Amino acid sequence: MPLLMGADAVFRAAPARAATTVDFTTLRTQWLDTLIGSFDLSDTVVAKYVTDSAAVAQSLWDSLDTSASRTYLWSDLNSSTTSAIQTTAAGRLRTLALALHSPGSSLSGNAQLQSDLTSAFDWFLANEYGPSVHSYDNWWDFEIGIPLALNDFCIVMFDDLTSTQITTATTAIAHYAPDPTITAGTTSTGANRNWACSIALVRGALSQDATVISGAKTAWETIFTYSTSGDGFYTDGGFVQHVYFAYTGGYGNSLLQYLTYSMKAASGTPWAFGSDKIAEVYTWTQNNYRPWIFGGAMMDMVRGRNLSRFYDTDHRSGRLALSTLVQLASVLPAAQAATVNAETKGWIAADTAQPYFTYDSAPIEQVRLASIVQGRALATNTGVTAVGESISTVMAPSMARAVHRRPGFAYAIAMDTAAIHPYEAGNLENQQGWYTGEGAVYLYLPNELAQFTNEFWPTVDKYRIPGTTLDTKTLSDGVGRTTTNTWAGGALLDGRAAVGMGLSFSVQTLVGKKSWFCIDDVIVCLGAGITSTDGRDIQTIVENRNIGPNGSVTPVIDGQTVLTMPSSAPTAFTPRWAWIPGQCGYVFPEGTTIQAVREDLSGQWTDMDLRGVYDDDTDYTRRFISFWLDHGVSPTNASYSYIQMPGATQAATSAMATSTDILTMANTAQVQAVTQTSTGITLANFWSASAPKAAGITVSQPVSVVVIKSANAVDVAVSDPTQQLTGSVTVTIDGAVTSTTAVDPGVTVEATSPNLTISVALSGSAGRSFVARFAK
């Protein structure tokens, strides 16, 4: 039975000493353990995974060109201009090698396959990858993609290859990737640095070169330094790659994956990772990864351009993260391993959209057999109790993302600023991601786990991304969305959040202010100052839910089932409330007119992904229920207000429409504020230093504020979502307090009577919330 709980002997760094042959062997065999490991074939789940993996490998072997005169390995991978083709070829060699050496595989120990593989390996290094082949197209394939696969191939096939073959492979890798501190001709950062270090670690083990491994360990140091700008991990829960993009579930996912394998492989050698580094990785799992996983899916808003890849859905990305976590637990101290195991066990059990133990034939690096084995050990271990989803609200201004999590849902908000761009369209991917990070809302429900996995992205109307306020101008594929907005984020206090984002662009005249006030099980959505002079219609998208192919769900508006027949023609309603059964309730102020459709939409993944590799050009059709607000052509100071109630019943939605518990106290371009009278919670975004008093709060600079007043206490949170203010802000709250209970560093209490006044030093605060607590 594989070890589930970490042990001190595993994570303790080895004493500094000269490397021996045994150390290289240890590193190599422990890397092999991350790929295959040991397992009991009497476990039918593991046995089926082995069998299904072998079936895919058999088809690859059947189509492998083994002729002496071959000019390619696979006929569908015959290209000398598209570098991704060669990464795919190397990946197929790895798949075949794993099938050859996995016990229980129908190809296990097959002498002919062994011969064909070594021959194909030699051909690949002679013709496609080596010092005589100049790199072309995408640098990533030559420096990272191909080396990762070749390293694994050499590890698995080590006893089948001669020393000359191993040397040929490591020499080829070193030719393209000699120094892990450099990728693409510049200083490597974030996931690129980690990949390069991992490649060097394994290359050093294969070539028995301690200098190469030591160089990788030194280069790794930058990964463990929290970032304050650009690529890397942030203390607020963010991860950024390519300077401008939220990428926890893309590059960050791979970073954790290969760092975990490297930590496992290096254990007990002179290059073992110290306990301080392993402790930091555990902190990342809790602060930088867990907030962005729901039901086993990695949220699309932190996956960058990956969301446009048919083979890399949110659940596939999440499954890869879980497969990493089950292996990471073995290098953590026992208490930390127990936490990670309990969380991972919960996600594995919850994910019905992409079952963890089912082999997935998508053309990506598969979940490693060792991770399936570790996952089975975890799932069947009655000593580990699965934990449910996090119910913490997280604000990550470093990557302009926020998530409000409560029992039964996660409400995620993707924003943009001049520092964090709305979408990445590099490498001809994600060509229609224009609005995926421009105030977009992603709602996750446990009974609707396949919302985005179920062909959402190829079929959804790209101009109706929920949460966004947009100019309806037709956009060109991959066109830049150059925002000049500086505000994204807000104040957070005890799970209640005032989230805001400004609308401001260099490519259009549309401006406005948007707020999402997250109060327990409701989110109050406000928009104000919505103005444009470009002569086009401006809309705010309230909702756009994928109800599947031929979905039977029909919305209910003010108690009446509507839109029973699918049609692309919008219908106007003036509702007090609307409800999508099993998904969400919506409450509108009296007199609000919404447009609504229940329509079938069709599209292809290749509409968004234009690379010409890994194509899925299938025509998919899905049915959507969409609500939006039409602000008209070139509006001036238009506004909106509505409440979202994720997972609410029809009765709860109807009751909210007649309730006076939640009050909008201000909704202008200067200040937006709401109050919940039953709880004493007030949330406000003050967009201007000259904003008038709202909900009993006055400020001297543009800030976000949350106040909670109870019978005996007043608690306050203040944030600078622009991350640009200097000096201090003065915040005055109507009413006196008797004493100070606790204040964060940077908060000064200026007065407690007749009103509470505090000042908060904002310089360099990076958008974080400052909290002060008082007794009445």
Q: Which residue from 593, 594, 598 is spatially nearest to 563, judged by alpha carbons? A: 598
User: Looking at residue 597, what DSSP letter applies?
Assistant: E
Tokens (6 digits) for 42:
């009497």
Structure tokens at 699: 């400020």
Q: Which of 541, 518, 529 is nearest to 434 (CA)?
A: 541
Active site residues: 251
Beta bridge partners of 556: 561, 579
Quote the CA–CA distance of 298 and 249 in Å, as a whole number: 6
CA angle 653, 657, 660 (to 5 degrees): 125
Q: 725: which residues sit within 8 A by CB, 6+ positions away? A: 701, 702, 703, 762, 763
Backbone angles phi, psi at 752, to 5 degrees: -115, -10
Report yes or no: 500 and 528 within 8 Å, Cβ to Cβ: no
Distance CA 448, CA 152 (A): 37
Alpha-carbon distance of 676 to 708, in angstroms, equals 10
- Phi/psi of residue 175, nearest 5 degrees: -65, -45
For the chain, the distance separating the N- and C-terminal CA atoms, rounded to the nearest angstrom, is 57
Which tokens in the block code for residue 472? 């309806």
Rounded to whole angstroms, what are the CA distances from 719 to 272, 490, 680, 727, 768? 40, 6, 20, 13, 6
Relative orientation angle of helices 146-156 and 190-207, to the nearest 10 degrees = 30
Burial track 676-687 (b if 16+ CB lie within 10 A, e otherwise): beeeebbbbbbb
Any alpha helices (H) in 64-162, and if so which ranges?
Answer: 83-101, 111-127, 139-140, 146-156
CB 443 within 8 A of CB 449: no
Q: Spell out the residues 6+ positions from residue 389 whose beta carbon is closer than 8 angstroms to its own.
A: 294, 295, 346, 350, 405, 407, 410, 446
| Residue 710 C-alpha from the chain's centroid | 36
Contact 752, 738 (CB under 8 A): yes
CA distance 625 to 83: 41
Say whether 647 sits in a helix, a strand or coil. Answer: coil
The CA angle 655-657-661, to the nearest 5 degrees, is 80
Q: In this structure, what are the phi and psi dihedrals at residue 599, rounded to the nearest 5 degrees?
A: -135, 160
How do strand 239-241 and strand 232-233 relate by DSSP bridges?
antiparallel
The span from the CA of 756 to the CA of 657, in Å, is: 34
| Residue 568 backbone dihedrals phi, psi, to 5 degrees | -85, -5
Structure tokens at 61: 């072997």
Distance, CA of 411 to CA of 454 (rounded, Å): 19
Tokens of 358: 């089912």
**HEC per residue, 226-284:** CCCCCCEECCCCCEEECCCEECCCCHHHHHHHHHHHHHHHHCCCCCCCCHHHHHHHHHH
Say which residues have a Cβ less than 8 Å from residue 686's Cβ, sequence separation at least 6.
Answer: 670, 671, 694, 697, 699, 701, 702, 703, 704, 705
Q: Is 198 helix (H, G, I), strand (E, B) or coil?
A: helix
**3-class SS string, 645-664:** EECCCHHHHHHHHHCCCEEE
